[in-house]
Chains A and B, each alone.
Chain A
Amino acid sequence: MKFIIKKTGSLIITLVIISFLSFLAFSLIPGDAAVASLGMDATEADINALREELGLNRPVHVQYADWLLSALQGDFGVSTQYHLPVSELVVKRLPATITLAVYSMVIIILVSFPAGLLGTRKPNGAMDTVMTVLSQVGMAVPQFFLGILLTFFFGIVLDWFTVGGYVGVQENPAGFFRFLVLPAVAVAVPKCATMTRYIRNAVVAQKKQDYVRTARGKGNSEKRVLLQHVLVNVMMPVVTMLAMMAADVLAGSIVVEQVFNIPGLGRLLITSISNRDYPVVQAIVVYMACAVVIMNTLADIAYQKLDPRVR
């Protein structure tokens, strides 16, 4: 319990530091929101007036404190390209990205565990070699290509879904959830491949440990050795890896959202960067940092529960 409180404390400190650094970075980039919203033709006086109005003339730390206070109340400012509150924009994009993330994590877990264990019975045997080749292919295929392939096969050849036919969760919940399955596969495949390989290597390494010989010496079957003895030890590094992947998919996949035409965070980020919509970019950076830091904290807590030696 004390550990969890301590972890939460350091989590908050990390988030404040990240948000400040990103704020600082944006204030250092030439061309601010005033220039961006008025365009290149605006007069110096107009720009200055707008700067005054937006509070851009104040020192960075004052601006940051101001931003942080409003951010804590859920106000991340107003988007310069859409003239809508940032929080509203982001919240609208979240369902697609989060659903995609949850789907792909489920696929990663469901596929990579059995696939990772498949070849470990006889390392370097026929099955292991097949799985190695498959996971190499999975890691090597570019996501956009995979996306196109999936769209072509399931959308055009089999006609299971309308290409580019994204529907919002409010309008058609069933359609929304069904549509996101294929994009999730595209997101998950390379990660499944990595995870499969990772689990396979961890199991093979653990199987060389002395305690496995003890377990066999007790009369355990290979299956029981794997499930009762090896798997608990493998879970520790695997959980850390899973947390990193979860943080990654929660940030939204720019490529996959583009290919399947999904209005998620990844695409919002791209348009905001190209339009210098800094309030939006800033909010997304903070969100991504949150995802990474929270997932790592959860992994630390899980690790602590799994390994008695670090308790």
Chain B
Amino acid sequence: MTLLQIRNLRIAFCSSRQADGLFLKSTEQEVVHGIDLSIGQGEIVGLVGESGSGKSVTSLSVMKLLHEEAVITADEMTFAGIPLLSQTEEEWQKLRGNRISMVFQEPMTSLNPVLTIEKQVEEGLLLHEEEKYKSNKELRRARVLEVLAEAGLKEPEELLKKYPHQLSGGMRQRVMIAIAMLCSPELLIADEPTTALDAATQEIILKLLSYYSETYGTSILFISHDLSLVARLCDRVVVMKHGRVVETGTREEIFEHPQEEYTKQLISAAKGEQLAEAGESRSGVPLLELKHAVIQYREKNFFGKETVTEAVDDVSFTLHRGEILGLVGESGSGKSSLSKAVTGLLALTSGELVLAEGIRRPQMVFQDPYGSLNPAKKIGWILEEPLKIHGGFSKIERKRLVREALKEVELDEAYAGRYVRELSGGQRQRVAIAAALIQKPELVILDEPVSALDVTVQGQILELLYRLKEEHGMSYLFVSHDMSVIRRICDRVLVLYQGKLVEEGRTEDVLEHPQHPYTRELLRRKEAE
């Protein structure tokens, strides 16, 4: 039997208010263009797509949790026979948290920071359950302890008086799931519930979700950008792109015989295939040499007592012209200090940095372009700024260079007039790359350039970087903690551990035959994901 039936769902936002004469005119922007979705009783359906595909918006519309500017229309939208679109706000309140509930991506911000766990979990009992709970605190507490224990939280009594910030990420997500399951809903919507968690915890949360589905026959709508998770959990898969459904099918159909090009792309991106040409592009001409580099941070406390932290300890390497050199390590391994030193943002405590003669200043691209691009300025201004600072260009020339740079990163000229917040994560990273490129550098330091992006966008950005390198004869120092990204793009790789270089070699050799135990550990962890 079908629990949720959606036909031709359209969602639009009254987004930008623009001045039209004296009055503000709001323009509607449709983000979901008529999709069909159905979930059977007890079924687990995976909704897959990248950020901006409309999958989260769709799931929020099922509970009418979108903000008021959203305009939702559909030919049919029923839950257990109830027409959802004609529900009054009071009727919605009886459904939400009771018959349909939701788990969100970021459990830290999704829980109220100043209320105790007990208060947040028991709330559903006060709102939806029988009268007996309202007057009896003991009864409520017993039920709260029961759901917390069921969500796999050990010693739930200890948790009652705690606050969200005192719990680990995995525990918070279990609390969120306990809240969602409190009133035994028929439909559970899980929006990227494991994205913020580490691999081991992801696994546990997946098991927990299938446990609820088996035990209570709960239907689950599982939203994710990660196909490998969907493959393990879901009976049926719906693939979305740009607000439309691209492909629908059973798990076997989608993963064994994908029909659409986009689905195939998603699957290959999830497997992390190597860029075709990468691997052999060393010229042997050194562009940058680092000799016995040491970076120390000195900190004087109030009494003048000095503490020295060694971030980088005697590291030497050479980066050749035309090469993509990977720098791998966890946070705290010294890779950020090292990349800052190479761009000249940080001085070496001792050792030597030799750049090839006449080389232009290395440029840097950061992980989070949202934080590193000025939000108050238009893209065109941001791209033009370095040209203004270094001078020597007329206004017309600068505009032309901006247009060219945008074209290089496959963005339309019109983007020059937009703000950073109007762009998607991938587009922002393209702008950050354009900003580095406009100064025609020979060496670019890429600090986790794709870590914040979805897998297919990751693939697109990596391909872009590779093409630009080939066309302009640049070299990259590619900093990352992600072995599968390193595998796809780097010629050689350096492994940094606690400030020391522990392994160095051709990417293939290092990844296939790791020598150092730390490298093996990194690879093992990647596989576990």
Q: Which residues of A contact B (CB under 8 A)?
A: 122, 209-211, 213-222, 224, 228-229, 232-233, 236, 306-309
Contacts and interface: CB of A to CB of B under 8 A. Distances in A.
Nearest to B113: A309
A211 B94 contact: no
Interface stretch (B101-109, B341-349, B391-399, B448-456): B101-109
A210 B114 CA distance: 14
Contact of B114 (A215, A218, A222, A306): A306
Given A219-B127, A232-B114, A213 B94 contact: no
Given A216-B65, A217-B96, A218-B96, A229 B179 contact: no
Contacts of B307: none
B128 A219 contact: yes
A220 B97 CA distance: 9
Contacts of A222: 89
B109 A211 contact: yes
Contact of A210 (B68, B93, B97, B110): B110
A229 B123 CA distance: 11
Decide if the interface of chain A is mainly helix, strand, loop or mixed. helix
B101 A211 contact: no
Contacts, number: 79
Given A211-B113, A214-B111, A122 B106 contact: no
Contacts of A215: 112, 123
Contacts of A216: 65, 96
A213 B60 CA distance: 10
A209 B124 CA distance: 20
Contacts of B113: 211, 233, 307-309
Contacts of B165: 308-309
Given A211-B112, A218-B127, 19 more contacts: A122-B68, A210-B106, A211-B109, A213-B104, A214-B102, A214-B112, A217-B65, A217-B97, A217-B101, A219-B92, A219-B97, A228-B123, A233-B112, A233-B114, A308-B114, A308-B163, A308-B166, A309-B114, A309-B165
10 contacts: A211-B109, A211-B113, A217-B63, A217-B102, A218-B97, A219-B95, A229-B112, A233-B113, A233-B114, A309-B163
Given A214-B104, A219-B128, A307-B114, A209 B97 contact: no
B213 interface: no
B127 A210 contact: no
Contact of A218 (B124, B163, B166): B124
Given A213-B104, A232-B114, A219 B98 contact: yes
A224 to B, nearest CB: 8
B115 interface: yes
Contacts of A220: 93, 97, 123, 127
Contacts of B101: 217-218
B498 to A, nearest CB: 31
Interface of B: 63, 65, 68, 89-90, 92-98, 101-102, 104, 106, 109-115, 123-124, 127-128, 163, 165-166, 176, 179
B186 to A, nearest CB: 14
Nearest to A220: B127
Nearest to A217: B102
A209 B115 CA distance: 15
A228 B102 CA distance: 20
A94 to B, nearest CB: 37
Q: Which 8 A-B pairs have the closest CB atoms?
A: A218-B97, A219-B97, A210-B109, A219-B96, A308-B163, A211-B112, A210-B110, A214-B110
Nearest to B17: A124
- Residue from A213, A217, A233, A236 whose CB has the most chain B CB atoms within 10 Å: A217
Contacts of A210: 104, 106, 109-110
Contacts of B65: 213, 216-217
A211 B110 contact: yes
Contacts of A232: 112, 114-115
Nearest to B111: A211
Nearest to A212: B112
A236 B113 CA distance: 12
A219 B93 contact: yes
A94 B341 CA distance: 63
B220 to A, nearest CB: 15
A307 B106 CA distance: 20
Nearest to A213: B65
A273 B124 CA distance: 62
Contacts of B94: 219
A251 to B, nearest CB: 32
Contacts of A224: 127
Contacts of A219: 92-98, 124, 127-128
- Residue from B63, B95, B104, B113 whose CB has the most chain A CB atoms within 10 Å: B113
A239 to B, nearest CB: 13
Nearest to A216: B65
Nearest to A228: B123
A309 B109 CA distance: 13
A222 B92 CA distance: 12
Nearest to A232: B114
A307 B111 CA distance: 14
B421 to A, nearest CB: 14
Nearest to A307: B114
A218 B92 CA distance: 10
Contacts of B176: 214
